[in-house]
Amino acid sequence: MKKTISNLFFILMLSLPFGGIAQEVTAENPAIIPQPAEIEWKEGVFTLPEKTVVCYNSEAKASAAWLQQLLKNTNSESFSMEGEDCLGFSLVIDESLEESLGKEGYKLNVSNDKVELEAATENGMFYAIQTLRQMFPAEIETGKISEEIKLKQVAITDVPKYEWRGSMIDISRSFFGPEYIKKHIDRMAFYKLNRLHLHLTDDQGWRIEIKQLPKLTEVGSKGAVKGGRSGFLTQDEYKEIQEYAAARNIIIIPEIDMPGHNYSALMAYPELNCDEFANLTPARATPPELYHEYNVGWSKFCLENPETYDFVATVLGEMAEITEGPWLHIGGDEIEDPLYEEFMVKADSIVRGLGKTTIGWEEATKAEVDSSFISQRWHGEVESVVDVKVIESICSSFYFDHANVEGQESTNNWCKEDGVTLKNVYDFKSDNPNVLGVEAPVWTEMVLSDSALDDRFWPRSIAMAEVGWSKTENREYKDFLNRLGKHGERLDRMKVNYYRTPEVNWNSERSDGVFSGFTPSSK
C-alpha cells in the first residue's frame, strides 16, 4: 500500500521548481561505466531545484541515505521522507522485481520533473545511485557545486553479466593496511565491483591475527619484500573492513595459502617443518630468518606431519568465525608433493565443515575436491578432475602486477612479456558455462607504495569492471576508450593515481582534490 504523504511535505513539494519544460540538450551524453544493458538517452533535462525531496519506500530507507549524501555536494537542499510517486527523487525497492532485474539490477529513469530509481534489493539500488552519480559533474567528488545542475533525461534498465566481479590485493609480500583497503573498496564500489580477495599469507609475511597462534603475527608478520612494508591486520580491523565493504555491497574473501607459499608460518612455528627442513626446497631461508626476497612457492607444510592438520583446522576455524562472507580461499598453487591431492581434499572438507565454501587456485582441481569447490583459473593449463564453478583470473588478461604498457618499470612480465594492456583486459571473453565471473589480482613483490598499487589497478580495473558487468554484445573498445577518457577528471578528484594510458584521451590533468568519501552517517 502506498504511504500517505503529510500535508506539510505535499505543500512543500508543490511549491518547489522540480525541473522545467523538457529542453533540447546539445552536450554529449554522460560517460557511464560499466556500459548498462539497456540505455536510451532523451532530449530533455532534469534541472536540480534549490530544494528537493528524496522520497523512498520503507525498504529503501538506507539507500536514500546514500543519495542524500551525494546531494549534499550540490546546490540543492534535500529533504527525505517515506512515500511513493513523489516529484524530485523517488527510490523504490520491490522484491518482486528480482525476476526481471536479479539481485543487483536496477532501473533508472530521469524525466523533466522526476528521477526514479527501482531495484529488487539494496544492492541494486546502490548501483542505481552509482550510475546516477556518474551523471553529475565530476566536481561532486570533491566538494559543493554552486552552479545549477542539469541531468540529461534517460531510461536505463541494467543487469550485470556476471555475479562475481572481483579485485585482489596481495598484502602479504608488501603490506597494505585498512586505510588503503577502504579507499580501494570505495573505488571498486563506484564501478560496481563486488568481491575483494585479500591474499593474507605467503612466504614473506603473515598478515592476519590468529589468536590461538599468536606467533603468526608476533614473528611471521615481520617480513616483507625488500623495500616493502611489514605489518598485519588485527581481527578487529579485519571485521571493520568487512563492515565497510558490506555497506558498499562488497564481500571480502580471505586467502590463507596452503599447503605451499607459507614460510612466514613455518618461521613462526618451526615444529611444522620436516626434519632438516626438507620441506623448504630450495631453502631460501630457514627459521628464525626473515625472508625478504621475491621468489615464492619454495616452501610447504610437512604433509606427513599430523600436526599440520591441527594447524590448518585452527587457522581456518578462526578465519571462518571472523569472516562474514560465505567463502574461504585456501590457495593450493605451485606445489609438487605426493600428498598434495590428499591434503587439498582434507582442507576442502575442513572448510565445508565450518559452513563455508572453498575457493582455490586451479591446481586444486587436480584433486577430487567437492563439487561446491570454486576454481580460480590463472593460467588455464590444469586438467580438472572435477566439474566446478570457475573464477577467471587468466594472467594474460587480469594479472595487473604486469606492465600497463610494454617496458613499464618495476612490473612483472613472466606471463606476458609486453604487459597486460587495457585492450588485453577489455577483449577478454569466455564461453565456459561454469564461469561465475572475473577477478584481477595484483601481486605486490614489486609494488611498494599506495601510488604504485593505484597505478597497477587503475584504469585496468575499470575495463575489467565493464567485462564483468556489461553484455558482450554491448562492449566496443573505441566507445569504452571515449567514455573512459571522460572519467579522467573524476579519477583525479578521487585522488586515484591511475596510469594515464596513452591511447586514452583523458579529459584532465592531475589535481589536488580531496575525495569526500561519500559515506552517509547511517552506514
pLDDT tens, residue by residue, 393-439:
999 999 999 999 999 999 999 999 999 999 999 999 999 999 999 99
Last residue in a domain, options 111, 142, 158:
158
Number of domains, the chain: 2
192 and 134 part of one domain? no
Q: 10-14, 346-350, 360-364, 444-448: which range is least confident on average?
A: 10-14
190 and 92 part of one domain? no
pLDDT for the residue numbered 27? 60
288 and 151 part of one domain? no
Report the pLDDT averaged over residues 349-357: 98
Q: How far is CA 421 from CA 166, 188, 480, in A?
A: 18, 19, 14
pLDDT for the residue numbered 135? 98
Residue 84 has pLDDT above 90, yes or no: no
Is 101 within the bounds of a domain?
yes
Closest CA to 173 of 329, 295, 301: 295
For CA atoms 376, 238, 410, 404, give the dihedral sign: positive
Last residue in a domain, options 158, 174, 192:
158
For residue 491, the tally of other CB atoms under 10 A from its CB is 27
pLDDT for the residue numbered 2? 35
199 and 146 part of one domain? no
Is 495 within the bounds of a domain?
no
Is 522 within the bounds of a domain?
no
pLDDT tens, residue by residue, 31-66:
999 999 999 999 999 999 999 999 999 999 999 999
119 and 204 part of one domain? no
303 and 442 part of one domain? yes
Q: pTM for the complete prediction?
A: 0.93
- Residue 86's pLDDT band (boundaries 50, 70, 90)? confident
261 and 309 part of one domain? yes
Residue 45, strand partner residues: 152
pLDDT for the residue numbered 353? 98
86 and 235 part of one domain? no
Is 96 within the bounds of a domain?
yes
Last residue in a domain, options 136, 158, 180:
158
Report the pLDDT averaged over residues 285-310: 95
277 and 425 part of one domain? yes
Structural domain for 201, as ranges: 164-475
Is 511 within the bounds of a domain?
no
Q: How far is CA 19 from CA 5, 47, 140, 250, 492, in A?
A: 21, 5, 20, 35, 30
Question: Between these two residues, 196 and 516, which has the higher pLDDT value?
Answer: 196
Report the pLDDT averaged over residues 202-214: 98
Is 411 within the bounds of a domain?
yes
Indicate which CATH number applies to the domain containing 443: 3.20.20.80
- The one catalytic residue in 98, 334, 341, 368 is 334
295 and 206 part of one domain? yes
34 and 133 part of one domain? yes
Angle in degrees, 0-180, between the axes of helices 122-135 and 178-190, rounded to the nearest 10: 80
Based on the residue annotation, tell me whether 334 is a catalytic residue of this protein: yes
pLDDT tens, residue by residue, 15-34:
333 333 333 334 689 999 99
SS3 content of the chain, % helix, strand, coil (to 5): 35, 20, 50
For residue 195, the tally of other CB atoms under 10 A from its CB is 24
**Amino acid code (one letter) for 41:** W
Q: 32-46, 79-93, 109-123, 460-474: which range is least confident on average?
A: 79-93
- Residue 517's pLDDT band (boundaries 50, 70, 90)? very low
Any idea of the CA torsion for 519, 521, 522, 523, to the nearest 10 degrees?
40
Distance CA 88, CA 299 (A): 61
Is 13 within the bounds of a domain?
yes
489 by DSSP, 3-state: which? helix
Is 189 within the bounds of a domain?
yes
Indicate which CATH number applies to the domain containing 124: 3.30.379.10
124 and 249 part of one domain? no
